[in-house]
Structure 1
Amino acid sequence: MDQSAPALGAALPRLRPVSCPPWCTDGLHHDLDPPGTALHRSPPATVAVYDEACELVAAHVQAAFWDKAPEWIGTDPADLERPHVEVGTPAGGGDVPMFLTPGQARSFAAALVRAADAADTEAFYRTPVPPGVASTAVPASAPLLQA
């Protein structure tokens, strides 16, 4: 018996379908129901963020596309039946996935950049407080009190 030949029943590598988007590296292309359905995903970008319990968790951002069987087309908003962006955190950490169109993802990213710029700028106007001492400074972003 030839030792280099794969044993019967051994898992053979599954090839990417021809219809797979060029960015797909993490797709489920087989054994989905109904037949003819495929899930395409890009490699995830992982960003450390704080969750609601102030614990660091990994948020995953990636392109995705459900290549649906004909009878499933129309079961989601039309914008999400095309390639879109998914953002999620691990299931145990209160995962609330977001699904964004490319335009929504760009708007969200721009809003994050503006908010980050504002947060960085505010730090220049605050008096440094040593660790463990409560600050009495009012953040620059706080609403002005009217007399």
Structure 2
Amino acid sequence: MNSSHLNPKPPITVILNSNCFTRSPYHTPIQQHPEIFRVHLQKLRPSRLREFDLELLARHSLDYSGAEIEQAIVEGMQQAFSSGTTGNRSDFNTEHIIRALEETVPLATIAKPQIEALKQWASNAGARPASIYNYQKSYAKSRTTEASTI
């Protein structure tokens, strides 16, 4: 006797999150970037956090994911340390991170057609954004669309 009808498999849930991959193809909303920089810089330089211009860094990281921002900070740090001479090394600063951001092409730019196709698929499938920021933005847009059809 086949008992598969007694124990049906639960439906598959797909969660699309802007940070679900190590190298996420989704960029995070720019409004979240100062906080992302703060979190990563707090881990590396808690006593110098106020010295970094988080808003300026956010403006230079438009299409970057959180993972790409973290990597730019590490790259900026490595550039600063390698530019000094032995015994005369300077610590990294906002300008080093900006330079690292400018030398990097975010995945959201490289894979734009694939990302747009995935977003279209998610929209057609009825997927909801995982971050509260994206959910609020999506909800407001759907409410505006509904109101215009009434």
Do the two structures share a fold, i.e. TM-score over 0.5? no
The higher-RCO structure (CA 8 Å, 6+ apart) is 2
TM bucket, shorter chain: under 0.3
- TM normalised by structure 2 equals 0.21
What TM-score results when the alignment is normalised by the length of structure 1?
0.21
